[in-house]
Amino acid sequence: MSKRIEVNDLHVYYGNFLAVEGVSMTIEAKSVTAFIGPSGCGKSTFLRTLNRMHEVIPGARVEGDVLVDGENLYGPTVDPVNVRRQVGMVFQRPNPFPTMSIKQNVLAGVTLNSKKLSNSAADELTERSLRGANLWEEVKDRLDKPGSGLSGGQQQRLCIARAIAIQPEIILMDEPCSALDPISTLAIEDLINELKDQYTVVIVTHNMQQAARVSDRTAFFNIAGTGKPGKLIELADTQTIFQNPTQKATEDYVSGRFG
Amino acid sequence: MTTALVTPEEPKLDHGIEENPVRPAPRFAWLIVLLASFAASAALFAALGFSIVGVIIVGYVIYLIAVTVTYSAMAGRRKGTDQLMRSLIYGAFVLALIPLVSVLWTVISIGAPAISADFLTKDMYGLKGVVDKAVVEQGAPLQGGALHAILGTLIITAIATLISVPIGLFTAIYLVEYGKTSRLAKSIRFFVDVMTGIPSIVAGLFAFSLFGILFGIGTKNGIAGAVALAVLMIPTVVRNSEEMLRIVPNELREASLALGVPVWKTVTKIVIPTAASGLASGVTLAIARVIGETAPLLLAVGVTMKTNVDPFNGPMNTLAVYAYNLFKFPLNPGYRDPSLERAWGAVLLLVIFVVLLNLLARFIAKVFAPKTGR
């Protein structure tokens, strides 16, 4: 249930502003790929092109191809709504739906797509998703309480449960731990490790230790200066990036000698 | 990174901030100053000839000066300025309150005696001027009531709401969720702003002429009035709803879209429920805004003394028009007082309606508000 992503010469624009230039990379199935790089270098922007969330912003567009198991996400007949059902996303700040209970939040992706669920199927999916997000034990007695009553770390895991409830092929995470304390971060990192058995996981992080801990492969993005487009510098096994990078810029960044 | 050691002999920079220590002042010093200021003012006017307005104005000015000086001396300049600003703000608050309280007091004190079971259950049909003569000369009870106006107000406002809420809400949804900053959305926003400012009589003339063209000159009925009110309500509903939809965090929209939910479903299932409390109270306040309209209804609905609950047929009456009409054309021009009392009674009912609507808006906001808690 996981797929490999191939990106060919992708340019990402906000209106006329070129935000990310000429990215080509392959993201392996059933692995964790981390994107690192300085702020504003286009990691998140690039990540959002992988499930066509980028184009939600007015004026935003891309040029180039993103192939998921050979199928182009930006093909003329592809419906972005379908892409997003296959490529789930977890955002920087936990964003459970405030009008819904914990259970409704987990099931939101399914029920909002007007699939009718029997009670037993709904219960089963809720439990499986919450277990998948390591949250079941903490919330099983209060599934009907609002999701916004949970702690930040729990909310983020609720969002992960919500994302895996629609059984995507790929999960994108945009700095999922940057608003969380170290203990919740650890919980999420453990979860990411488990998720890669089933899903292709792509994670953007500012925390290089985190990238080193959770990812199999790491991509380093950099930017030449303000107003210039971000670029992919190199993508390699995480160990190689942190210990023996081929590019000088990568070495400077991972060793903290940047800027 | 370079580390600069601050050498001890480096001179301190003059940052221009004056030492201005604040000392504690007695808690009720301002109250003593206030009483003293008004006492001084009263004493001054006692010598010059008494005037309550003069005492208050001069007393307030004396207080402003005295409190600033006292606190500056006692507690430091910052405290003095603080007290001056405080006093100015409270002064403005009291000033704003005066007309409000005065209107409420007048309406309640004059209108309340008019309200009785009869006033709420009878109309004015068939009443002659002699009835009012009897009220004034023989102390007979007030006859007739405002039933037709109450029903007319409720019916016409309800229809106006039914017309304007869908149009206004859908416009707001278009502006926030689809149009965003497109040229069409910008021009709609501009014209909605213009519409907010049109005088209500223009809306009345619009409905009057529209129904004149469609059904013959001089057509007056409840629907025409509702159309006039809807013209006034729509911009308010659009503006309120737009604000409410806009404050729904974008993260929720993205969360929903990222789950593969189409935009229209994101709007109906996520955005609107999240904004529901604000939308509902915005609509209620828009109703409160038009429920007291007089001029457009006078034109489009006309006046009647008879209970008419059929908005498609013939003139109706509403509370504001009822009050205006009884004031302008008393039942018995020789004995105006009973008619004026009815008018005040109708105005009081209108105020009560508006208060109820506002309470309803608060209640709705509370019921629909996203729940929190563990």
> For residues A220 and A255, what is the distance between their CA atoms, to the nearest angstrom?
13
Q: Which two tokens stand for residue B192?
A: 């909605």
Left if phi > 0, otherwise alpha if psi is -120 to 50, otherwise beta: which for B144? left
Contact B266 A112 (CB under 8 A): yes
Domain hosting B225: range is 147-367
Is the CB of A115 inside 8 Å of chain B's CB atoms? no
Amino acid at B6: V
Stated as kind and residue range, the H or E segment containing A118 is: none
> In terms of domains, do B38 and B187 share one?
no
pLDDT of residue B11: 67
CATH number at residue B253: 1.10.3720.10
Is the CB of A151 inside 8 Å of chain B's CB atoms? no
In this predicted model, which residue has the larger pLDDT, B372 or A109? A109
Question: What pTM value is reported for the model?
Answer: 0.81
Which among B93, B111, B129 is the end of a domain?
A: B111
Is the CB of A259 inside 8 Å of chain B's CB atoms? no
Residue of A nearest to B178 (CA): A58
Select the residue from A14, A79, A95 to test the B interface by mutation, using most B Cβ atoms within 10 A.
A95
Q: Is residue B16 part of a domain?
A: no
Per-residue pLDDT, averaged over B48-58, amounts to: 85
Whether A51 contacts A133, CB under 8 Å? no
Per-residue pLDDT, averaged over B67-82, amounts to: 89
> In terms of domains, do B57 and B158 share one?
no
Q: Is residue B91 part of a domain?
A: yes
Is the CB of A53 inside 8 Å of chain B's CB atoms? yes
pLDDT one-digit tens code per residue, B184-194: 999 999 999 99
Domain A5-97+173-254, what fold?
Rossmann fold (3.40.50)
pLDDT of residue B249: 92
Residue of B nearest to A80 (CA): B260
> In terms of domains, do B89 and B152 share one?
no
Q: Is residue B332 part of a domain?
A: yes
> In terms of domains, do B106 and B154 share one?
no
Per-residue pLDDT, averaged over B346-371, amounts to: 86
pLDDT of residue B1: 45
Q: Is residue B29 part of a domain?
A: yes
Is the CB of A102 inside 8 Å of chain B's CB atoms? no
Residue of B nearest to A98 (CA): B370
pLDDT of residue A1: 53
> For residues A112 and B57, what is the distance between their CA atoms, to the nearest angstrom?
63
Is the CB of A113 inside 8 Å of chain B's CB atoms? yes
**C-alpha of B173 from chain center:** 25
> In terms of domains, do B283 and B341 share one?
yes
pLDDT band at B6 (very low <50, low <70, confident <90, very high): low
Contact B260 A114 (CB under 8 A): no
Chain A positions in Cβ-Cβ contact with residue B273 (cut-off 8 Å):
99
Q: Is residue B122 part of a domain?
A: no
What are the mean pLDDT values of chain A's consecutive 10-residue runs (259 residues total)? 84 91 91 91 91 89 90 90 91 90 92 84 92 89 89 90 90 89 87 89 91 92 86 91 89 77
Largest CA distance in chain B: 101
> In terms of domains, do B231 and B288 share one?
yes
Contact A148 B370 (CB under 8 A): yes
**C-alpha of A181 from chain center:** 19
Is the CB of A79 inside 8 Å of chain B's CB atoms? no
Q: Is residue B373 part of a domain?
A: no
What are the residue ranges of helices labelled H in chain A? 43-49, 80-86, 102-111, 119-132, 136-139, 152-165, 182-195, 208-214, 238-243, 248-254
> In terms of domains, do B88 and B217 share one?
no
pLDDT band at B372 (very low <50, low <70, confident <90, very high): low
> In terms of domains, do B107 and B152 share one?
no
pLDDT of residue A259: 47
Taking the CA of residue B286 and the nearest CA in chain A, the distance in Å comes to 25
Q: Classify the C-alpha dihedral B305-B309-B311-B312 as positive or negative.
A: negative
Chain B positions in Cβ-Cβ contact with residue A142 (cut-off 8 Å):
374
Contact B372 A148 (CB under 8 A): yes
Contact B259 A142 (CB under 8 A): no
> In terms of domains, do B154 and B289 share one?
yes
Residues forming beta bridges with residue A32, ordered by sequence position: A201
DSSP letter at A219 equals E
Chain B positions in Cβ-Cβ contact with residue A149 (cut-off 8 Å):
372-374
Complex prediction ipTM: 0.87
Residue ranges per structural domain of chain A: 5-97+173-254
> For residues A191 and A210, what is the distance between their CA atoms, to the nearest angstrom?
13
Q: Which of B371, B309, B319, B318 is nearest to B348 (CA)?
A: B319
> In terms of domains, do B67 and B174 share one?
no
pLDDT band at B135 (very low <50, low <70, confident <90, very high): confident
Task: Label residue B319 exposed, middle or buried (CB < 10 Å: 0-12, 13-18, 19+).
Answer: buried
pLDDT of residue A126: 93
> For residues A150 and A106, what is the distance between their CA atoms, to the nearest angstrom?
14
> In terms of domains, do B292 and B342 share one?
yes
Task: Label residue A123 exposed, middle or buried (CB < 10 Å: 0-12, 13-18, 19+).
Answer: middle
pLDDT of residue B14: 74
pLDDT of residue B166: 95
> In terms of domains, do B158 and B72 share one?
no
Chain A positions in Cβ-Cβ contact with residue B247 (cut-off 8 Å):
none
Taking the CA of residue B257 and the nearest CA in chain A, the distance in Å comes to 7
pLDDT one-digit tens code per residue, B7-34: 556 666 777 776 767 888 888 888 899 9
Taking the CA of residue A146 and the nearest CA in chain B, the distance in Å comes to 6
How many beta-carbon pairs below 8 A join chains A and B?
A: 91
If one counts the domains in chain B, the total is 2
pLDDT one-digit tens code per residue, B170-224: 999 999 999 888 899 999 999 999 999 889 999 999 999 999 999 988 888 899 9
pLDDT one-digit tens code per residue, B99-118: 999 999 999 999 898 888 88
